[in-house]
Amino acid sequence: MLLPHGAIVAIADGENFELYRNTGNEAEPELAAQPVPKLDSSNHSGGSHRSSPGNHADSIVGEDAHAAAVATWLNGQVLSHKIKDLVVVAPPRTLGELRKHYHKMTGRAVIKELHKDLIGKQPSDILIALREKH
């Protein structure tokens, strides 16, 4: 895929969030790590998830709250015109939760989604994954 200069690659899972900016050009992208904002996942309710002894709803609620906080931050960046082109990489469940919280402008800014867990990977590995056919 061609990755526009300045595009943001947001990588998330149920607990972590990483950001990269393409500092190269479309044909030869170079990902530079960006500072990760402090997210507030405390004000997002678990919605329909209920916890009881023996199930793992608490961790699911936490993961969903984290995804909602990531989406809220991305929405703010898109709406303030700080992100024009956005690539989102997350495991399938997290990606689904992110989509639930996208503002319509954020949805339009997304140029690619990849359902994969790439947290902690090197920028070169991320670029390889983005080039793969899915």
pLDDT digits (tens, 9 = 90+) for 45-58: 444 444 445 445 55
Mean pLDDT, rounded, for 97-104: 96
Q: What is the pLDDT of residue 98?
A: 96
Distance, CA of 31 to chain centre:
15
Q: Does residue 85 carry a pLDDT above 90?
A: yes
Report the C-alpha gap between 43 and 115 in whole angstroms: 26
Hey, what CATH topology would domain 1-16+55-134 get? Nucleotidyltransferase; domain 5 (3.30.420)
Considering the entire predicted model, what is its pTM?
A: 0.85
Residue 67 tokens read as: 């995804």
CB 21 within 8 A of CB 100: no
Residue 32 tokens read as: 């530079």
Mean pLDDT, rounded, for 83-98: 96
